[in-house]
Every structure is written in structure tokens, then in C-alpha cells.
Structure 1
Amino acid sequence: MTAPQRFFLIDDNPHDQLLAMEAFAELCPDCHLTFANDGSEALRLLQSTDELPEVILLDVNMPGMNGFEVLQSLKKDPRLATIPVVMLTTSGAPEDVAAAYTLYASSYLVKAQDFSAFLSQIEAFLGYWAHCRTIHA
């Protein structure tokens, strides 16, 4: 079993992108982390590449298409529908969690407030996915 190496983060916040980049660089230097700043850009990138990510990290609160709209679009596209999508967001609202799972998110993580806690969170995330099988390996 090979752990996922290609991750795709869809998040409009440059600070959160930087934190994720630093966490992945420290915890999984062999991982490839790609970014999109919004849902439209993410869908364009995903639909135009031959090398799909093995796991998508998706923020809920974004301008334009929010995370739920992006998730819905991903799951409607037969080529992208099987990619696991993990919601990574600041919202812990029960209705947001329920909406994500209703739209077939694989998991829901509320972003930790400080970098040390975020690092632990990403370490647990990577550990989990290291033991899962994905289709796009």
C-alpha cells in the first residue's frame, strides 16, 4: 500500500495556504501539495490535468463558489467524483458538518488555531491517509 503523495488544497486564504505548505514540508517532504485560490480555479485545474490529486483539502468559506458548491461539482464529475475530499475549514457549525457529509465529503476537520496544533492536525491527517487506499494512486 502506497501512501498518497499528491494533495490539492482549495483555500482562498494565503495565510492558510502558507501554513499548509509549511506543515506539509515538515511532515511529508515527498508529498506534492498544489493550491487553488477559489473553486472555479480548482475545477479548471482539475479538469485540465492528467495527474489528479489523491486527496483534496477544501475550505468551506470562499468567495464565488463556496466549498459546498465546489464539493457538489466535484462529485457530479465522473472523473473527479472518486477523489476523497476532506473539508478543512474554520467552521465547526453542525449544519456545515452535516452539509459536507450530505454532499459526500470524506472527512471534516476544523482548522486548529495555532501552528503547533495545526501541525499535529496535519500529522494525524497524513497518518490516516497513509493507511487508506485511494483510487488515483
Structure 2
Amino acid sequence: MKNRPIIAVVDDDEDDLFLIQEAFKACLKEEKVVLANSGQDLLAQLETLPILPSFLLLDLNMPRMSGFELLGKLRADARYNLMPILVFSTSSAQPDIDRAYELGANSYVKKPSSFDDYKSVVEDLCNFWLHVASTPSSRFLP
């Protein structure tokens, strides 16, 4: 049986998780969306997945483990260091953008302010990361 592609999202804001999940419904066909509300939750869920997510949407401003800290952990772990990580944040501060790229983010996207904009951004991300880009995400995890 073929594994369905996976998209992972980590965000501590339940409203943002809901908006993201609803936006994904408009553009996904067979992909599974894994939602996590903290860095620790995401790390635990990644352990259970048979394949790497096609990409991860990562919020920066989270309690306990910031998005920056999680990004560093993922890039330092050989199991996850090739997974595309897209920072998805309300911050448009250049130091945050620079730091995210320095830590290995593949992209930095500012969170939209309306649901229609969420749908548009998520559709663009899906089109690029699932249909245009070639990624290592289909490999099985060790």
C-alpha cells in the first residue's frame, strides 16, 4: 500500500491551526495534514510517520520551544534535516527572517490576515512544494 503524502503544521494558536487546516482542504487531494500545537508535539508525531512530510509549516512564536529552537533541532537531526521547512509567521522583522534562513529554513512566509488570503497562500505553497519542487520527502524514515 502506498503511503499518502504528508504535510505537517506546527502552531500554538488554535485559530491559526483551524484556518490553515481549512485552507488546505481547498487544495489537497490525497495528502494528509498533521497538526501539532508545540515543538514537542511535532517531534513526537514525526516519530510515528512512515515518510517525511512533503513540507512543514513552522510558526516562530511558540511557548516552551520557539520555532527557531525547533528549526535548529530538526536541521541537526539526520532523520529530518532534508525536510523542507517553511517558516509561517506573523513577524515581518528582518532579523527574524535572516535568523530563520541562517538556521536552514527553505522559505519564510508572512501569515495572511484574512481567510481568503490564507487559502491563496496555502494553494501557492501546495502548488510549489507538491507539484513543482522536487524534494526528498517521499523517502521512508529510518
User: Which residue of structure 2 aligns with residue 10 of structure 1?
Assistant: 10
Structure-1 residue corresponding to 2:66: 66
Size of the alignment, in residue pairs? 134
State the Cα deviation string for residues 82-127 of structure 1 (Å, max 9, x = none): 0010001111110100000000100000001000111111111111
Indicate the residue corresponding to 1:135 in structure 2. 136
- How far off is 1:48 after superposition? 3.9
Runs of 4+ in 1 over 4 A off after TM superposition: none
Report the Cα distance in structure 1 between the residues aligned to 2:26 and 2:124, rounded to whole angstroms. 13
3-state DSSP of counterpart to 2:80: coil
Residue identity in the other structure for 1:50: P
Contact 1:8–1:56 (CA under 8 A) maintained in structure 2: yes
Q: CA deviation at 1:41?
A: 1.3
**For 1:34-76, what per-residue CA distance to the aligned partner results, in whole angstroms no more than 9, with x for missing partners?**
0111011111221343332121110000001000000000000
2: CA distance between counterparts of 1:73 and 1:119?
29
Query: 1:79 is aligned with what amino acid?
Result: R
Q: Structure 2: where are the runs of 5+ without partners?
A: none
Q: Distance in 2 between matches of 1:9 and 1:102?
A: 21
- Superposition RMSD on alpha carbons, in Å? 1.3
Q: Deviations over 1:10-30 (max 9, x none)?
A: 101111111111111111132
Indicate if the aligned counterparts of 1:24 and 1:31 stay in contact, CA closer than 8 A. Answer: no
Structure 1 unaligned blocks of 5 or more: none
User: What percentage of residue pairs aligned between the two structures are identical?
Assistant: 34
Instruction: Work out whether 1:109 is the aligned partner of 2:113.
Output: no
TM-score, structure 1 normalization: 0.92
d(CA) in 2 for partners of 1:96, 1:57? 16
SS in 1 for 2:26: helix
Map residues 73-88 of structure 1 onto 2, 5 A cutoff.
Answer: 73-88=73-88
CA distance in 1, matches of 2:72, 2:11: 16
Moved more, 46-55 or 98-107: 46-55
- Taking structure 2 as the reference length, the TM-score comes to 0.89
Matched residue, 2:50 = 50
